[in-house]
């Protein structure tokens, strides 16, 4: 697709961002990854991202975003806040206000420093738990804002935007990386790598998608 271009992947070490990393490695000449340290509930997330980037030989940046923890207490940054889905139209307790706004903005600054014009993120409007900063409209708006703010021509790519979890597993399989994504990524809100705890909302969504995909392909 853009084999002569350079890209930066917003990378957490989870299923979605790891699938996006493999997608970027297939489609771009040079790829770097950026992980944000916001004192998240499970530090293992950062270790997982480090390990994957190291295994794949991808240059990996870790940026300090601890102020986000201070400003936006939630279930991903506080052990005393229960992980639960939103009730009666409310957002889940795992929503971190401003997270993708800040992550993509800083990814843009990093991209400008390393000579990349492409930013890849694993946000998705299909299985997105209602997070407003995962919507296509938000990403397109921020893309325009980034370009205006730095007088540049970045392109934010969202390979998973219109995919459900089963289709995301299908993409990983198309890339030849389904087992890697299943065995080495961390999606679980309780900090358990691979198939996770099986009970938190992230694990339930991940397993439901995998079961659906496996059923479709008859494995």
- Is residue 190 a contact partner of residue 196, using CB atoms and an 8 Å limit? yes
Least confident of 19-23, 151-155, 162-166, 215-219: 215-219
pLDDT by residue (tens digit) across 122-144?
999 986 567 888 899 999 999 99
Sheet containing strand 28-37, strands side by side: 59-64, 28-37, 2-10, 118-120, 155-157
Q: Can you give the pLDDT at residue 93?
A: 52
What 111-114 contacts at long range (C-beta under 8 Å, 24+ apart), as own/partner pairs, is 111/8, 111/154, 112/150, 112/152, 112/154, 114/6, 114/8, 114/32
Q: Which residues contribute to the annotated binding site?
A: 11-21, 188, 197, 200, 203
The annotated binding site for ATP is made up of: 11-21
Binding-site residues for Zn(2+): 188, 197, 200, 203
Q: Which of 12-21, 32-41, 83-92, 136-145 has the lowest mean pLDDT?
A: 83-92
Dist CA 118 CA 78 (whole Å) = 33
């Amino acid at each position: 697709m853009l084999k002569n271009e350079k890209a930066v992947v917003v990378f957490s070490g989870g299923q979605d961002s790891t699938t996006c990393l493999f997608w970027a490695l297939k489609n771009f000449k040079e790829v770097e990854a950026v992980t944000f340290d916001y004192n998240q509930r499970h530090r293992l997330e950062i270790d997982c991202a480090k390990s994957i980037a190291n295994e794949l030989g991808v240059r990996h940046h870790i940026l300090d975003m601890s102020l986000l923890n201070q400003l936006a207490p939630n279930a991903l940054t506080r052990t005393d806040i229960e992980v639960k889905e939103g009730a009666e139209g409310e957002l889940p307790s795992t929503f971190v206000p401003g997270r993708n706004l800040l992550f993509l903005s800083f990814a843009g600054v990093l991209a400008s420093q390393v000579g990349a014009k492409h930013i890849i993120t694993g946000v998705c409007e299909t299985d997105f738990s209602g997070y407003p900063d995962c919507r296509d409209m938000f990403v397109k708006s921020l893309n325009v804002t980034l370009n205006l703010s730095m007088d540049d021509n970045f392109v934010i790519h969202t390979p998973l935007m219109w995919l459900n979890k089963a289709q995301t597993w299908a993409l990983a399989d198309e890339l030849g990386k389904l087992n890697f994504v299943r065995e080495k990524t961390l999606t679980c809100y309780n900090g358990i790598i691979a198939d996770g705890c099986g009970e938190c909302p992230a694990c339930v969504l991940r397993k439901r998608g995998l079961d659906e995909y496996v059923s479709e392909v008859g494995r």
